[in-house]
Amino acid sequence: MGLILVRYGEIALKGGNRRYFLKRLRDNIRDGLKKNGIQGAMQSAQGRLYVETDQVEDALSCLSRVFGIVSLSPAVIVPSELGAIQTAALEWARQVGLGPSKSFRIRARRADKTFPVISPQIEREVGQSIREASGSRVDLSEAADLTIDIEVRPEGTFVYGGTIAGPGGLPLGIGGRAVALISGGIDSPVAAWLMMKRGCSIIPLHFRQSEVEASKALDNCRILESYAYGQEIRPIVLEHEQVFGDTFRKLHHIGAERWICVFCKRTLLLRAAEIAQEHGARAIITGESLGQVASQTLANMEAISYRVPKPILRPLIGLDKVEIAALARRIGTFAISTRDSAPCPYLPQYPLTKAEMGEFLRVLTELEESGDVHESIGL
């Protein structure tokens, strides 16, 4: 039976609420193991979680996508005796093929102060035995080919030779629920993922303009689902034409084509707010980044947010395209988002970049006073 050491970060700072956060994290870990058909048992002690399983590689892959986990290490636990620690470290070095052409270092931490050997001495004793057995050289820098960590704890001593990063953040479900607008592009799945990282359960909402973009959006929802241990992701797909078509025609009818993008986004946000209300969600998530495209200006955001009855969360607001693309690659959505795209059928020739609120309110009033314009404009 293998052992995985699970580390969490800011959960440890939650004071009196820490027990609640840890319970959610443990529940999400169990859900992840179950969904991937992995048999395992979980224990907790002294600010650590441990997963015991004979499917270590599969479990590492699964747990590396559980929000709230900072890092993971496949490990062995041995009695807190110097001889047993040396034996475990030697076996680890042998398994990874440490030899004369490679370097290594030992890092020891003695959390159990009753253990009579201090950390520097543990490092010297274990390092000497590995150097003599393998012929490899010691390198105390980050450039070492192998780092073997030793943690002496009250429940035993953990020996491990590698650390796998987790997504960090807070356990999914701890931060409430929000509707996430998901298009076929790069930004919106990343925005949804970042809010999931803050513990927010998501309801993906896609407004279908074409099968090409809908396919990309739903494929990205499946990527997000691979991180969604602790919740079921059920995307909602609505027809864009049914939501925005009437407003689009009215804008043409009153000669306000430049306002199409502003009113399109506002109309979708208002519909998303209705979906949020129906599903008990408290906010709407969008992939907007300030100034990334001409329509994503503060003036336009003020207009599209006008009287939307739910908070609008924009986690990408201060990131540039390079940073967002890097996150998309890390998450696994980039390749999907950059597949062949279909153009937006509503895009005007000259989109408005600076929506003045006075003019916006005038156009809004005129829209609200317009009747059915299908026949009058031949659409």
pLDDT in tens, 256-270: 999 999 999 999 999
Confidence of residue 372 (pLDDT cuts 50, 70, 90): low
Confidence (pLDDT) at 349: 87
Residue 314: φ, ψ to 5°: -125, 75
Confidence (pLDDT) at 155: 86
**Mean per-residue pLDDT, 4-16:** 89
Confidence (pLDDT) at 47: 72
Q: Measured between alpha carbons, how far is residue 207 from residues 43, 182, 194, 196 in Å?
A: 44, 8, 21, 21
Confidence (pLDDT) at 162: 83
Long-range contacts from 255-259, C-beta under 8 angstroms, 24+ separation: 256/363, 256/366, 257/348, 257/349, 258/348, 258/350, 258/351, 258/352, 259/352, 259/355, 259/360, 259/363
Confidence (pLDDT) at 89: 96
Confidence (pLDDT) at 379: 29
pLDDT exceeds 90 at position 357: yes
Confidence (pLDDT) at 223: 97
Confidence (pLDDT) at 378: 29
Considering only CA atoms, which of 211, 192, 208 is closest in space to residue 200? 192
Q: Which two tokens stand for residue 242?
A: 């049914």
**Mean per-residue pLDDT, 116-141:** 95
> Rounded distance, CA 289 to CA 274, Å?
24
The CATH label, of 1.20.1200.10, 3.30.2130.30, 3.40.228.10, 3.40.50.720, for the domain at 2-165 is 3.30.2130.30
Confidence (pLDDT) at 376: 33
pLDDT exceeds 70 at position 377: no
**Mean per-residue pLDDT, 227-231:** 95
Beta strands in the chain (DSSP E): 2-8, 41-45, 48-53, 69-78, 103-110, 137-138, 146-153, 156-160, 164-165, 177-181, 201-208, 236-239, 283-285, 312-313
**Mean per-residue pLDDT, 95-107:** 93
Q: Which two tokens stand for residue 333?
A: 């959505």
> Rounded distance, CA 91 to CA 86, Å?
9
Confidence (pLDDT) at 371: 63
Task: Determine the Cα angle at 48 with ends 47 and 49, to 5°.
Answer: 135
**Mean per-residue pLDDT, 124-146:** 94
pLDDT in tens, 282-333: 999 999 999 887 778 999 999 999 999 999 999 999 999 999 999 999 999 9
Average pLDDT, the chain: 93
**Mean per-residue pLDDT, 220-224:** 98
Most confident segment among 45-59, 141-155, 267-281:
267-281
Q: Where do the structural domains in the chain lie, given as residue ranges?
A: 2-165, 177-369
Which residue is associated with the tokens 């306000």? 256
Fold agreement (2-165, 177-369): no
Q: Which two tokens stand for residue 59?
A: 């479990």
Confidence of residue 374 (pLDDT cuts 50, 70, 90): very low
pLDDT in tens, 150-196: 999 988 999 998 889 999 999 999 999 999 999 999 999 999 999 99
Fold of 177-369: Rossmann fold (3.40.50)
**Mean per-residue pLDDT, 325-344:** 96
Confidence of residue 25 (pLDDT cuts 50, 70, 90): very high
